[in-house]
Chains A and B, each alone.
Chain A
Amino acid sequence: MERVPSPGASRFREASIAGTWLWLGLFALLPNLVLLLVAFLDRDTVGFFIPSLTLDNFRELFAPVFLGVLWDSIRLALCSTLVCLLAAYPFAYALAKAGPRLRPWLLLLVIIPFWTNSLIRTYALILMIGAQGLVNKCALGLGLIGAPLELMYTDFAVFAGMTYTFLPFMILPLYASIEKLDPGLADAAKDLGAGSLRTFWHSTLPLTLPGVVAGCILVFLPSLGSFYIPEILGGATNMLLGTFIKNQFLVAKNWPLGAASSSVLTLLLVLLAVLYRFTSQRAAGGYNAPLNARRDGE
């Protein structure tokens, strides 16, 4: 028998779904569409843009200047994503397997930085790696180095800043996917002759891949688009994508080019979202499988 929801409840459901769609449409879809539109318009130094269609802005994305910026940004974002992943996986695993007494404290270690303003955390990093920072003082004090290391205003500083800032975004989705993993599966793999390493490779990793991909998206995209971290910690030498986009809008007053270059980020986001869907379907054994197949053969 079908359960018939009361008309009041179904109207409430429809209203809340409609509200969500309205919100998403107004504040997510519409601005992106406007941005996309602007990317096809001509620039105007006074009035931001002229309503005449052109592909010039996209052509400029293939200029060596922009490709250089893009390449540097992607490389840096990939590095910090990789380091975040390598650091976060063991931690998330320990978190998921921790006893009920230890777990809240470990979670707190992740949540506190997660809730702290990331600008403040970036400035805090200066206290650590600046010329007079903790790292240099300790190394000097221990006699490991003769003069303070120049860590600030380098690619390394930017890389460290991104890794540090976005680490919680990697830990939380990983934790969520490891936590809901059936521990019986690892037992089954061991029972069938897989050692710890092969158990991880054949069972744990493929089943937590959605968490890995989600975490990588949540670190990679903000790393790619971030402009305050390179600006506070980085040198003047290498411009990164986030700064480039920001400059187009606020400094060079070239809105169409800014819009075109930020659409690169949107495109990447879409590609990664598709990848995420694919991996989570595989881990669940395929969503598209016909469920009525359950009935034959019995």
Chain B
Amino acid sequence: MSTITLDSKVPSGPIEERWDNHRFTMKLVNPANKRKFTVLVVGTGLAGASAAATLAELGYQVKCFTFHDSPRRAHSIAAQGGINAAKNYKNDGDSIYRLFYDTVKGGDFRARESNVYRLAQVSVNIIDQCVAQGVPFAREYGGLLDNRSFGGAQVSRTFYARGQTGQQLLLGAYQALMQQVSLGRVELHTKTELLDVVTKDGVCVGIVTRDLVSGEVRSWSGHATLLATGGYGNAFYLSTNAMNCNVTAAWRAHKKGAAFANPCYTQIHPTCIPASDEFQSKLTLMSESLRNDGRIWVPKKHDDNRAPDQIPEDERDYYLERRYPSFGNLAPRDIASRAAKVVVDEGRGVGPLKNGVYLDFSDAIGRLGQNVVFERYGNLFDMYERITDEDPMKVPMRIYPASHYTMGGLWVDYNLMTNIPGLYALGEANFSDHGANRLGASALMQGLADGYFVVPYTIGDYLAGLLGQAPVSTDDPAFAQAEQGIRDEVKRWISVGGTKSPEHYHRELGKLVWEYCGMARERNGLEKALTEIPALREEFEKNVRVLGDPDGVNQSLEKVGRVADFFELGELMCRDALMREESCGGHFRVEHQTEEGEAQRDDENFSFVGAWEYTGKGNVPNLHREPLVFEFVKPTVRSYK
């Protein structure tokens, strides 16, 4: 029996007016009543910190949770390149409509038009807000804001703060959050991990957490709960995500009935440092902005062992410039990644393990001079040199694609509410705006849009209906039961007493997910994955070893639960990839490509959001389809030639 109905609540009318009209028709909570509502915000990345700060400013009682030791450590801190906004400061033909168009097209026509248009609209406010907070964006000599261009766009609309844009935006949101903490409007709980979402009569009433220092398991109740818990790119084990990024919050919400949408839409970023050995714990991204000035190439010959400067110009294959003359090195991520895989699979990879392609700055250095190039990319070059011991000013960088971002996530309606009333998902944790592929510099934009400018309005519409109701008490059996479940889980992990660490199983799982559900997917492989992943999971459950005490700091215990959730998610990713008999954006099915090797979409049969309903561990989940309608941007073959 299915309990899920997917009502996207997308407004109708002219696209430019939809968000305005929607805001007008939503119910409001008057200022004096706001303090009667408690909102739980889980996550303090761009999405969570901006939402928590803004809701507190509006007068709501906010309780905010993060497993990090400080809100400032959320993984948003690592974003390098920049944030998009349709300011048209460069007078180069940008507009809200163009950002909307680029994002819908970039997402390969698998996102909701209304959401994307709203995102483009509020992008402009985000920059104003961040500048007012003191985010030190790059400036021109006259004191105006500077912009750069990014993959998948032909205008310069990306705002940046050196190579540390995410850091500066997050610090802005963190500082706004800390101000609200100092005013007593936000109660902040660091080192506190959500382990369950609590529902009563189908409505979200709160959460259960474990204190990562004391081990205490306890309940929190609120009128509404916001999950801003980031993406699931670590399902691949090796990724550009931080070590502790995980899917647990979203997955546990999924187990409580929240639909999980498009799990197979994952983004493989084209410019990461290739793995150097089997002990590698994570991969490091080199910002895509490097593609503005770097040229990507491999030798024309197979197994060419010459040093790069020994390979003459006419024996180099600048394959992106060759295949995509109008976008060249700035082709969108999915396209650039697959093109790299093609040349490496052909045996034309470079570096000691032949697992990379060159990203070469010598032309840019010739054209702009050492100083300009170093000013633009110096900190990235330093970072690269620390890891590889090579200086990109002298030797071309070596890069290769790696898991980076996940477009899929919890299904949400236009108000960012999941199908569980009272439970919202923001930022990378939801599936909402990027379709099958995200454009560079658009995740920061979406996280802040959701937190600063969308949820603070839409939540009022829900809360207004609860006026006069106290939140469900944490003494309620619904909470007691959820808490007991977590205590039992903790006990179970400690008592398995196997032989291998949680880390070991995460690594093994990651290999399977990367092999079968990575840059190219195929029916056979996916079917294999659907038997191999559950088999490995069974071994994991019987043979994992978690040492130490549950009542105190225990990093193996933290890890084991996250790995368990990745196992179930990995299976769902493969199932989703198998279901989607087409190629679109980051999802490339080998069976569905054109003669030139480009992705082949099937709009007739797959123009829908695939939202999965949990039916129990190891059971086949139910698929629900939300049809996608394109009224403004007509789906075309996405060409970047």
Pairing of A with B: no
Hey, which bits of chain B sit against chain A, CB under 8 A?
none
